[in-house]
Chains A and B, each alone.
Chain A
């Protein structure tokens, strides 16, 4: 399959500038990574509403809390590894607990950071954010969806964590396709098995569905962009109608999207399931493609998992 590859970060920057034009209450904070996260676009357009906090993520989150409690809609950006783990207590105490209007849009998540290596490849951010009460968790699938997610979450008054990547990602949605927060998107219909992906792995699920189709297997593909709150209805319906589920995420298989789906299915409709994701290990330096292969995040891995599920279905 030939994809058009585009940057999610560019669309984040574009959406922020539009928000800045539309609304005077939008302010943006970054921690010395604005040219990488693209909040620099907003900084250029609205310098008085942009606050660089330097390399001090804990301070940045609490400063955001004060701005939000004063009525601002606050976007906070840095690399996902620093924007979650490094300031977890601040997010817990000053964002989630008081349920403040803060959107943490974290870039450079997952192993596709590439050469920077394990120190920068956060594979546990979804787990960390999922367990916080009051926190919504979203993984936009591509650049088009990133734009829509940013515009949509700005309309809410509550904390949201949005995870985007460093690398360009395949564009799998149309620019004018509607986007609904909390509603998983069925990308392709099928009744033999369900492939649920988030982020860059949705494109791999679509490729896997093509591959499975060659063997007469009709796979349903779901883009589960919102990990929390979870669209249990769409997930359970798919499990009921296809009888088997594979999840695929660029995240540790521990407590990420696949775990959320597994918990939902165990309690609601038990079907054979397999989680494709990064095993319980740290990453390493390498090119994106090499890392995706090394850590089991390929189309082939999804196809193999689907066959395993199909075998157990019978």
Chain B
């Protein structure tokens, strides 16, 4: 199903670079936030919002739209950057992240930000919420799909597995979960803090169709998502192998930048690497 030419893929990659630059800038301007997990998930979000998902930034409440849930709510800067690039609100608003009175809360708030489908931040809630949306879609005989991005740290949360069981039990083949497998959580490597492997086997055992991909390859994200659409009777988990802090050399694989804003010098360096202009 490789139907995309090189030019198309490089357009998506260019958007992803802009999204990364936005995310780093927003966190720098806010003085706090989570660069590592925003950068690791950026490519997945861009592929979804700029190619895979059926949505209309002019009508955020369009009933037929596909639903997106950022279960790892601390990746909010990447989500806001994608929503702004897509046209849900002006890019100029991105600098208000985490500031008093802003529509862009530190973690996503569905009541404040156009395009945000579910309030998240406390980890492990998003997949279950996505399942609820999927049940509603099935009840209403709607064909829209539900896309949920989870962090690998969220695999520690019991509710993730409760939700995995429910999606499988109710045959929610309209749910696709992306696991941002960047292999780092706040306190250290996932395998040191709380072992997750064999992760694919766990999802398979819960009745899910499982695909493993490079979560920074647009082509692989698109192909895996298209494969998920063909799977009937069960949900699909796409384990996206990613690099925390992807795109900024000194943030890549760095625990330090899980939840810390860059300094002035670090910011300048990061923006230069992302091919953008500093603010």
Contacts and interface: CB of A to CB of B under 8 A. Distances in A.
A and B co-occur in one complex: yes
Interface string A62-75: 11111111111000
Given A69-B117, A93-B121, A63 B139 contact: no
Contact of B131 (A27, A49, A66, A72): A66
A59 interface: yes
B136 A66 contact: yes
B170 A51 contact: yes
Contact of B125 (A27, A48, A62): A62
A93 B163 CA distance: 16
A62 B163 contact: yes
Given A54-B165, A59-B159, A62-B163, A98 B119 contact: yes
A173 B159 CA distance: 42
Interface in B91-144: 109-111, 117-122, 125-126, 128-137, 139-140
A273 B125 CA distance: 43
A287 interface: no
Nearest to B136: A70
A61 B119 CA distance: 13
Interface secondary structure of B, over-half rule: helix
B133 A70 contact: yes
* Residue of A27, A54, A63 most packed against chain B (CB within 10 A): A63
A69 B122 contact: no
Given A58-B158, A59-B163, A66 B132 contact: yes
A97 interface: yes
A48 B136 CA distance: 11
B118 A69 contact: yes
Contact of A62 (B67, B128, B140, B165): B128
B139 A98 contact: no
Given A54-B165, A59-B159, A90-B125, A68 B132 contact: yes
Given A66-B118, A94-B125, A98-B109, A53 B166 contact: yes
Interface string B49-83: 00000000000000100010100000000000000
A65 B132 contact: yes
A214 B22 CA distance: 76
Q: Which of B69, B109, B159 has the most CB of A within 10 A?
A: B159
Contacts of A71: 63, 136
Contact of A51 (B120, B135, B159): B135
A235 B169 CA distance: 49
B266 interface: no
Given A54-B165, A59-B163, A67-B135, A93 B125 contact: yes
Given A27-B139, A98-B109, A99-B111, A63 B131 contact: yes
B119 A66 contact: no
A280 interface: no
A157 B132 CA distance: 17
A241 interface: no
A42 to B, nearest CB: 14
Nearest to B119: A98
A67 B139 CA distance: 10
Which of A49, A62, A69, A92 has most B Cβ within 10 Å? A62
B162 interface: yes
Contacts of A89: 122
A187 B152 CA distance: 57
B118 A65 contact: yes
A142 to B, nearest CB: 33
A56 interface: yes
Nearest to A68: B132
Given A58-B158, A65-B129, A93-B121, A98 B111 contact: yes
Contacts of A97: 109, 111, 119
Contacts of A58: 128, 158-159, 162
Contacts of A48: 139
Contacts of B128: 58-59, 61-63, 65-66
Interface of B: 63, 67, 69, 109-111, 117-122, 125-126, 128-137, 139-140, 158-159, 162-163, 165-166, 169-170
10 contacts: A27-B139, A48-B139, A49-B139, A65-B129, A65-B132, A66-B132, A67-B133, A69-B110, A69-B118, A99-B111
Listed from nearest, the 3 A-B pairs whose CB atoms lie closest are: A66-B132, A62-B128, A70-B136
